[in-house]
Structure 1
Amino acid sequence: MEKLEVLKKFNSYNNNTLMETLEIEFVDIGDDFLVAKMPVNSRVHQPYGILHGGATAALAETVGSSASMFFLKTNDKIVKGIELSINHLKSKREGVVYATARPIHRGRTTHLWEVKVTDEEENLISICKLTNIILDKK
Structure 2
Amino acid sequence: MTGIQMDSGLGNALGFAYEGVSGDRVVVTWTVGPQHLQPFGIVHGGVHCAVNESAASIGGQAWLRDQGLVVGVNNNTDFLRQARTGETLRSVATPIHQGRTTQLWAIETTNAEGKLVSRGQVRLAHIPGSPPQEFLALLDA
Q: TM-score range by the shorter chain?
A: 0.7 to 0.9
Q: Which runs of 5 or more residues in structure 2 are unaligned?
A: 131-141
Pick from 99, 106, 118: which aligns with 2:110? 118
- For 2:83, give the aligned amino acid: K
- For 1:83, give the aligned amino acid: N
**Cα RMSD between the aligned structures?**
1.5
Q: Which runs of 5 or more residues in structure 1 are unaligned?
A: none
Distance 1:25 1:31 in 2: 17
1:32 is aligned to 24
> How far did residue 30 of structure 1 move?
5.7
Q: 1:101–1:114: 8 Å Cα contact kept in structure 2?
A: yes
2:138 is aligned to none
Q: Deviations over 1:90-110 (max 9, x none)?
A: 001131111111111100110
Listed as ranges, the matches of 1:1-138 within 5 Å are 3-4=1-2, 7-8=3-4, 11=5, 14-29=6-21, 32-72=24-64, 74-94=65-85, 95-137=87-129
Runs of 4+ in 1 over 6 A off after TM superposition: none
Q: Aligned in 2, Cα 1:132/1:31: closer, same or farther, shift over 3 Å?
A: closer
Percent identity for Structure 1 against Structure 2: 26
- Paired residues, what number? 129
Distance 2:129 2:24 in 1: 24
2:12 is paired with a residue of what secondary structure? helix
Distance 2:23 2:7 in 1: 26
TM-score scaled to structure 1, two decimals? 0.87
Q: Aligned in 2, Cα 1:87/1:111: closer, same or farther, shift over 3 Å?
A: same
- For 1:108, give the aligned amino acid: R
TM-score scaled to structure 2, two decimals? 0.85
